[in-house]
Amino acid sequence: MPLLTDPLTLGTGSILQNRFALAPLTNQQSNDDGTASEHDLHWFEQLAAGGYSILTTAAANVQPNGKSFAGQLGVYDDRHIPGLSAMAEIAHRHGALASVQLHHGGAFARQDLIGSEALVGPSDDEDTGARALTLPEVEQLRDDFIAAATRAQRAGFDGVELHGAFGFILAAFLLPETNRRTDHYGGNPEGRSRLLREIIEGIRAGCGPDFHIGLRLALSGQNPHLPEVRDMVAGFLERDLVDYLDLVVRSLDTRVEVGIHSGELLVDLFTDLTRGSTLVGVSGDIMSAAGAQRALDHGSDFVFVASGAVVHHDFPQRVLADQAYETPRPPLPASFFRDQGRSPAFIDYLEESLGFVEAH
């Protein structure tokens, strides 16, 4: 079994010094125009010093109308480059690789943050009022994901992670319920995953073989389309389409609840797939040394630390120093987060949206 301290090589040839990746963590600290703030840089510096081999930025929107969080980091304009460059430099100074998470909120963008622009998605959505993108708009979305990747590269990042999870636009294109398009970006699984594939191909063509591409997908044991998701992932792995997958599960113990795989461990269903050079990472309740090692024992190549990093930004170093280490479990007192240098905006977000902070 691999150990958490073992290095790994990405398909690009870049080396991950250990098995800890920082998961994307929205922290609502960026300036209103999407440029990185001093708080962003301070938080990234804390994380980078914590021992991860690869750091992912918070979800960064690739178009203004994809903005889904106040204080969201942007990557849709060259004015974002200086702040992003500072973040890449921080990661590299600490010996880590760095990815920008490329995001568009789609129907879950926030109208109060995108002004007069329309909420959009693959198809009309009665619940949110989002309207279907026209064909030229889908092509523009694809091109803007690719342009955001080349911008990240110009800023000094080693690669990008595509946000294909949690119902945001790339995830919405994959699902038949949210993608009812009748053009070649809808229909069968091949059509629904076309946008994602074209983005990946465009980034490869624009950024070259040394620039890594990761893909985040969220897996649910209750998803009736799980066999289709598994087939898609198998196809991606067969063709080494991306350099890594970041698979989000609720926990390593989550089991499939519907369909032909009922009762099986969700993670195993994906880590058992034959793979070539694509690395597979798992995100979900990695909050202890034992939990991180268990993910590797279940066939994951590396782990994405999220809540664990919010609690202790130096999660990897703590794990490596103590095999019995576990993070305290939120909710925790606001003073706990303040003492560790989290900004007021970040603490508000942790309190209001995520329940990480104890009621006073």
Ligand X SMILES: Cc1cc2nc3c(=O)[nH]c(=O)nc-3n(C[C@H](O)[C@H](O)[C@H](O)COP(=O)(O)O)c2cc1C
Is 308 one of the binding residues for ligand X (CB under 6 A)? yes
Nearest approach in angstroms of CB 110 to ligand X is 14
Q: Which is nearer to ligand X, 174 or 186 (CB)?
A: 174
Is 58 one of the binding residues for ligand X (CB under 6 A)? yes
Is 216 one of the binding residues for ligand X (CB under 6 A)? yes
Is 327 one of the binding residues for ligand X (CB under 6 A)? no
Q: How many CB atoms lie within 10 A of CB 338?
A: 12
Is 26 one of the binding residues for ligand X (CB under 6 A)? yes
Q: How many CB atoms lie within 10 A of CB 336?
A: 17
d(CA 217, CA 136): 26
Is 174 one of the binding residues for ligand X (CB under 6 A)? no
SS (H, E, C) 235-290: HHHHCCCCCEEEEECCCCCCECCCHHHCCCEHHHHHHCCCCCCCEEEEECCCCEHH
Nearest approach in angstroms of CB 310 to ligand X is 5
Position among 18, 178, 283, 327 found at the interface with ligand X (CB under 6 A): 283
Copy the structure tokens of residue 171.
């995830």
Q: How many CA atoms lie within 13 A of 160 on its CB side?
A: 32
Position among 248, 252, 282, 357 found at the interface with ligand X (CB under 6 A): 248
Give me the DSSP letters along 203-226.
HHHHH-TTSEEEEEEE--TT-TTH
Nearest approach in angstroms of CB 188 to ligand X is 27
Position among 19, 39, 80, 163 found at the interface with ligand X (CB under 6 A): 163
Is 288 one of the binding residues for ligand X (CB under 6 A)? no
d(CA 171, CA 193): 9
Is 164 one of the binding residues for ligand X (CB under 6 A)? no
**Which residue shows structure tokens 């919010």?**
310
Q: Which is nearer to ligand X, 59 or 273 (CB)?
A: 59
Is 172 one of the binding residues for ligand X (CB under 6 A)? no
Is 242 one of the binding residues for ligand X (CB under 6 A)? no
Q: Which is nearer to ligand X, 36 or 186 (CB)?
A: 36
Angle formed at CA 121 by CA 119 and CA 122, multiple of 5 degrees:
160
Is 101 one of the binding residues for ligand X (CB under 6 A)? yes
**Which residue shows structure tokens 């010996």?**
95
Position among 221, 284, 337, 357 found at the interface with ligand X (CB under 6 A): 284
Piece in contact with ligand X (CB under 6 A), picked from 175-183, 237-245, 256-264, 305-313: 305-313
332 with 356: CB under 8 angstroms? yes
Question: Of how many residues is the chain composed?
Answer: 360
Residues at the contact surface with ligand X, assessed by CB under 6 A: 23-26, 58-59, 101, 163, 165, 216, 248, 283-286, 306-308, 310, 354
